[in-house]
A = this chain, B = another copy of it.
Amino acid sequence: MARTTGSDGEKTEAAVREAAASLIARYGYEAMSMRRLAAEVGVQAAALYRYFPTKEDLLFTLMREHMEGLTAAWETARPTTADPEARLAAYVRNHIAFHIERRHSTHASNMELRSLSHDRLTRILRMRTAYEKELRAILRDGAEAGVFSIEDTGLTAMALIQMMTGVIVWFRPGERLSVAEVTATYLSMTMRLVGAKIDGTEERHVHAHAQLRA
């Protein structure tokens, strides 16, 4: 056999990306063999090499597109106002929404950095640093304006990002909490953490659903 009926390069490539992200999230990059990935797509292993020259290329592509997507989402969501609180709220909302929606590629981007070559690792880290810099700027502006009370801007930014990204570890859509509820709670935790005078705005909507579990 050779080319199969109905085969389409674009569809196959998309299926490969999706299956790869899912397998890497579930079992890890090293544990995902090209044969198993191919089986998931419904294709022979050799066919994968039409789309990605090496396994590492595939990983890098997933990571690069994840970071590009995250940056692009923030470019769109970023408010024009100078108000630090509104900007921080937008950052938190965008970060959580994006990571929940793409939790498979988030897993890859956060856990598999060590499998990249030096050059590619540097490129991904550069993108990540640029994204995190936006948060530090917001925190710094807020601290200087006196609306936040922050001891260490860099450290607070790291703490916030780890707290927010950690959502993907335990959050499963359709369980106890909705995305909106989780986001609202994280928003008010964030605001308290940075010492904002006014709490998160949607807090009232959530109170009815919260405190159900000990």
Contacts of A154 in B (CB 8 A): 213-214
Answer whether A114 and B31 are a contact pair too, CB < 8 Å, given A162-B169, A192-B195: yes
Which residues of A115-167 have CB atoms within 8 Å of chain B's CB atoms?
A: 115, 136, 140, 143, 151-156, 158-163, 165-166
CB of B192 within 8 A of CB of A151, answer no
Cα–Cα, bound, A131→B26 (Å): 24
Contacts of A30 in B (CB 8 A): 28, 30-31
* Contact among B152, B162, B177, B213 with A163 in the assembled complex (CB-CB below 8 Å): B162
Tell whether A71 is near chain B: CB-to-CB under 8 Å.
no
CB of A177 within 8 A of CB of B155, answer yes
Tell whether A182 is near chain B: CB-to-CB under 8 Å.
yes
- Name the residue on B nearest A25 (C-beta): B114
Tell whether A56 is near chain B: CB-to-CB under 8 Å.
no
Cα–Cα, bound, A26→B114 (Å): 7
Chain A residues near B (Cβ < 8 Å): 26-28, 30-31, 111, 114-115, 136, 140, 143, 151-156, 158-163, 165-166, 169-170, 177, 182, 185-186, 188-189, 192-195, 203, 206-207, 210-211, 213-214
CB of A189 within 8 A of CB of B111, answer no
Cα–Cα, bound, A28→B115 (Å): 9
4 additional contacts (CB under 8 A) given A151-B203, A158-B169: A30-B30, A151-B211, A152-B185, A162-B162
Cα–Cα, bound, A182→B159 (Å): 11
Contacts of A136 in B (CB 8 A): 214
Contacts of A206 in B (CB 8 A): 151-152
A-B contact pairs, 25 of them (CB 8 A): A28-B28, A28-B30, A31-B114, A31-B115, A111-B111, A140-B214, A143-B211, A151-B185, A151-B188, A151-B189, A151-B203, A151-B207, A151-B210, A151-B211, A152-B210, A152-B213, A153-B214, A155-B182, A155-B185, A160-B163, A162-B163, A162-B165, A162-B169, A166-B166, A192-B193
